[in-house]
Amino acid sequence: MPRKKEIEEKLKTVNADIGDIIRIIRNDEQHEGVLMPHHEFSDDDIITIKLKTGYNIGIAVDKKTEILLVQKQKTTEKQTKRIPYDQKKPTISIVGTGGTIACYIDYRTGAVHPASSAEELAFSVPEIFDLCNVKSQVAYQMLSENIEVSHWQALAEIIAKELNNGAAGVVIPHGTDTLGYTAAALSFLLKNLSGPVVLVGAQRSSDRPSSDAAQNLIAAATVAATSDIGEVVVVMHGEISDTFSTIHRGTKVRKFHTSRRDAFQTVNDLPLGKVENGAITLHAPYRKKTTGPVTTDTNMEEDVAILYFYPGMKPKDIPEKKGIVLAGTGLGHVSTKLLPRVTKLIKDGTVIIMTSQCLFGRVNMRVYSAGRDLIKVGVLSGEDMLPETAYVKLMWVLAHAKNKQDIEQLMMTNIAGETAERTKSNAFLQQNN
Ligand code: GLU
């Protein structure tokens, strides 16, 4: 909520602006620090200052609280710098979409802001300029839970344009919550990639000492600028300390932890490789970049849902849709009580794909009668696909297939590395061992 007018007046009276050092005297306490921007989640009587220790504290200000201006801010050199250009280096394009990673530190206050220009984004990690030239733009400034299909489609067009205009690779800073969905979606929407498309996020914002933002961005830029990958990949911390970053295939990756820096893992496969001390090692087969041009194929049927089965689920809990991805139990099951509903929906034209809530391992509906019954009524197997990958794939397939047979065939075809005939048995929570 906005700050109270009386408090704004107090600050104005002493000529205190954001970035200035102020002293707040309240009862017999005194606090000195840099005046921070007012946060919309803060109460209306709070002034936030950054202490010398780097910590931000919010102080409740009342009528008796005194505010003194200690020092006006100094403009730092960094603010006036321009993005450097070296014609011997490759140029990457950074396309910001939002999330913690797309925020930069204001060098005056140490506050984290969403970057709204190319310079701000690039200067958040100036080390990248040692590696490559940076062209950058902000496509969105969104929390990733608000990203929709239309954002994936527009993003695919921007990426194709950047690569076709000569970028060696594209880095997409993205909120981590739905980063896996966007990575999977872009994997289907972009064709004939002439360079790596690297999604990257941060679990901890760049004003925290434990932030993963800088390492992740540098590793992502390294992959974009110097690798010969022609796929959509995700680059994030490989383990909790700052040792290496892992390169995951966009259709096989999921956020497994709410807060750990190594939250992302490859599912049902091994990661493509890693970035350690600036060097890329690729140890799994990958699609190599082409000479272009990159094309897009962005039609998607949006009337698709993912449904997580739970004991007690009722037939009416399964809606009428063009497509449904079920996250069933174990090898791919739902309660037999749901069978008549599933049968009717399929008869009426809904395409239903079975995946597993187990995440690791492959769906196999042939083992138990419950599964065989589902196959009989036309439920298709999602094989070793993540439910979210099956979801974006089904949206794409429904917009491209001409008939039922086409749908079935496309769902079974490996289009973007999303499914393999055999799942490597050692691809189970490998990355953190
Ligand atoms: N919910 C936010 C998002 O996914 C969290 C911030 C982040 O992870 O970047 O955008």
Active site residues: 100, 176-177, 255
**Residue 125 Cα to ligand 1 middle (Å):** 19
Map out the domains of the chain as residue ranges.
5-71, 91-296, 304-412
Which atom of ligand 1 is the closest one to the Cα of 179?
A: 4
Name 133's bridge partners: 91
CA distance 71 to 56: 18
- What class does CATH assign to 91-296? alpha beta
For residue 333, CA distances in Å to 190, 214, 321 come to 33, 43, 20
CA distance 336 to 121: 53
- DSSP string of 160-182, one letter each residue: HHHHHTT-SEEEEE--STTHHHH
Residue nearest atom 3 of ligand 1, based on CA coordinates: 175
Q: Report phi then psi at 345, rounded to 5.
A: -60, -45
For residue 115, CA distances in Å to 77, 96, 102, 156, 219 come to 18, 8, 6, 21, 20
Structure tokens at 61: 């200000």
Which fold does the domain 304-412 belong to in CATH?
A: Rossmann fold (3.40.50)
Q: Provide residues with CB under 6 Å of ligand 1.
A: 99-101, 143-145, 175-177, 201
Q: Tell me if 91-296 shares its fold with 304-412.
A: yes
Which atom of ligand 1 is the closest one to the Cα of 101?
A: 9
The CATH number of 5-71 is 2.30.30.520
Structure tokens at 346: 């399929």
In our burial notation (b when 16+ CB lie closer than 10 A, e otherwise), range 376-386 reads: eebbbbbbbbb
- DSSP string of 231-242, one letter each residue: SEEEEEESSSSS
Please report, in tens digits, the pLDDT of each residue of the chain (433 residues total).
778 888 888 899 999 987 789 999 988 889 998 887 776 556 888 888 877 766 677 888 988 899 999 988 765 444 456 778 899 999 999 998 988 877 765 655 656 666 766 566 667 777 888 899 999 888 988 899 999 999 999 999 999 999 999 999 999 999 999 999 999 999 999 999 999 999 999 888 766 667 788 889 999 999 999 999 999 999 999 988 888 999 999 999 999 999 888 999 999 999 999 999 999 999 889 999 999 999 999 999 999 999 999 999 999 999 999 999 999 999 999 999 999 999 999 999 999 999 999 989 999 998 888 889 899 999 999 999 999 999 999 999 999 999 999 999 999 999 999 998 776 655 665 544 4
Which atom of ligand 1 is the closest one to the Cα of 178?
A: 4
**Residue 361 Cα to ligand 1 middle (Å):** 28
For residue 229, CA distances in Å to 133, 193, 272, 374 come to 19, 9, 10, 39
Considering only CA atoms, which of 175, 178, 357, 396 is closest in space to residue 267? 357
CA distance 338 to 353: 15
CA distance 360 to 383: 11
